[in-house]
């Protein structure tokens, strides 16, 4: 029984670690579907249009975009910069030193970002920008405090404001985070003061909130895909293997019955 108990203990520990890693923060689960080719196409388009001017994806080649049924011509016409080659990686023209001078931090390469931060974090991050006059860019982020990335999607999303509610009791603050419908973050100010931060829509953008959330979900789906493109192959092979084993089981069972018929 000992190894079983150790295993159980490990599972419980792993589960609690997962929750406490971002303690006090309630993330939005990303509704990203890896095998949804249309979502990946839209995500690739969104990435090229809105992110690639600052962020590279140096391990992703343009020609891999044919994985989601985008033709070479479409990629050349709509997604590539004129100077890029079809087989080249998604790099940016902006020199790192300029980026640091302009933003205070260099925009990191996003090839494996989804593996570093996780899908839910990315999805929440892109929903968590709010107006902050004190910030250099005019924007702050509930998931990434004092981020130096401006809210590049604000015309689509509209403008959010921060709402702070104070609590004297840690339990109440945590309960408020759990009960919050969207993103929420609890912070401890001192022993008797906790603040729960949430966001509220102040001005609407060109998209309705659900449309913007879907736009971001596609983008996150794409970022998750480029983090590990072969995973889609693995999932497909896995499904094939399971179907194969299922069929084999039917025959194996029939064979077993045939053998044992004489014994019983
Ligand atoms: C105007 C330039 C610019 C554009 C456009 C831009 N970003 Fe950023 N981004 C930055 C900068 C600068 C940082 C570094 C922020 C920091 O470290 O404070 C950053 C950071 C990030 C991070 C956090 C990285 C980390 O783990 O620390 C993510 C994720 C991200 N950007 C995603 C995106 C996505 C997705 C898009 C497209 C919708 C995008 N960015 C468009 C400048 C930009």
Per the domain annotation, does 241 fall within a domain? no
HSE-CB for 186 with a 13 A CA cutoff:
23
Can you tell me the distance from the alpha carbon of 81 to that of 53, in angstroms, rounded to the nearest whole number? Answer: 10
Choose one of 32, 50, 149 to mutate for the ligand 1 pocket test, by most ligand atoms within 8 angstroms of C-beta: 149
Q: Which two tokens stand for residue 119?
A: 């899908």
Coil, strand or helix at 240:
helix
Q: What pLDDT shows up at residue 40?
A: 92
Break the chain down into helix, strand, coil percent, rounded to 5: 50, 15, 30
* Residue numbers of the chain with a pLDDT score lower than 70: 1-23, 68-70, 78-79, 81-83, 93-94, 264
What CATH number does the domain containing 107 carry?
A: 1.10.760.10
Cβ of 220 less than 6 Å from ligand 1: no
Position in ligand 1 atom list of the atom nearest CA 102: 12
> According to the model, what pLDDT value does residue 25 have?
87
For residue 142, the CA-to-ligand 1 centroid distance in Å is 14
- For the stretch 229-246, pLDDT in tens is 888 888 889 999 999 999
- Inside any domain, residue 4: no
Q: Rounded to the nearest whole angstrom, what is the distance from the C-alpha of residue 203 to the centroid of ligand 1?
A: 23
Residue 60 within any structural domain of the chain? yes
Q: Is 11 inside any structural domain?
A: no
Domain count, the chain: 1
Q: What is the pLDDT of residue 108?
A: 86
Q: Is the dihedral of CA 142, 147, 153, 154 positive or negative?
A: positive
Report the nearest-CA residue for atom 41 of ligand 1. 51
Task: Give the domain extent around 44.
Answer: 23-227
- Cβ–ligand 1 contact at 122 (below 6 Å): yes
Residue 260 belongs to a domain? no
Q: Is residue 250 part of a domain?
A: no
Residue at 242 is within a domain: no
Q: Is 13 part of a structural domain of the chain? A: no
Question: Which ligand 1 atom is the nearest neighbour of the CA of 126?
Answer: 35
For the Cβ of 107 lying below 6 angstroms from any atom of ligand 1, the answer is yes
Atom of ligand 1 nearest to the CA of 94: 2
Q: In which residue are the tokens 């015309």 written?
A: 155
Instruction: Say how many Å lie between the CA of residue 59 and the centre of ligand 1.
Output: 17
Q: Which atom of ligand 1 is nearest to the CA of 150?
A: 1
């Amino acid at each position: 029984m000992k190894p079983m108990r150790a295993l159980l203990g490990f599972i419980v520990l792993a589960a609690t670690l997962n929750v406490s890693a971002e303690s006090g923060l309630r993330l939005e689960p990303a509704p990203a579907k890896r095998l949804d080719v249309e979502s990946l196409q839209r995500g690739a388009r969104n990435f090229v249009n809105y992110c690639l001017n600052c962020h590279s994806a140096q391990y992703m080649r343009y020609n891999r975009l044919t994985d989601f049924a985008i033709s070479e011509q479409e990629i050349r016409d709509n997604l590539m910069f004129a100077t890029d080659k079809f087989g080249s990686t998604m790099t940016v023209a902006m020199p790192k030193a300029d980026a640091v001078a302009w933003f205070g931090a260099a925009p990191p390469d996003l090839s494996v970002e989804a593996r570093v931060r996780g899908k839910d974090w990315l999805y929440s991050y892109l929903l968590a920008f709010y107006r902050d006059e004190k910030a250099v860019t005019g924007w702050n982020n509930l998931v990434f405090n004092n981020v130096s990335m401006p809210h590049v999607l604000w015309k689509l999303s509209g403008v959010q404001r921060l709402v702070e509610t104070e609590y004297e009791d840690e339990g109440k603050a945590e309960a408020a985070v759990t009960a919050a419908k969207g993103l929420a973050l609890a912070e401890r100010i001192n022993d008797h003061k906790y603040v729960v931060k949430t966001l509220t829509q102040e001005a609407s953008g060109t998209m309705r909130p659900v449309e913007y959330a879907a736009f971001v979900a596609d983008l996150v789906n794409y970022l998750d895909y480029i983090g590990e493109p072969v995973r889609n192959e693995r999932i497909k092979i896995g499904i094939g293997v399971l179907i194969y084993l299922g069929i084999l089981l039917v025959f194996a069972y029939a064979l077993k019955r045939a053998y044992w018929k004489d014994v019983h």
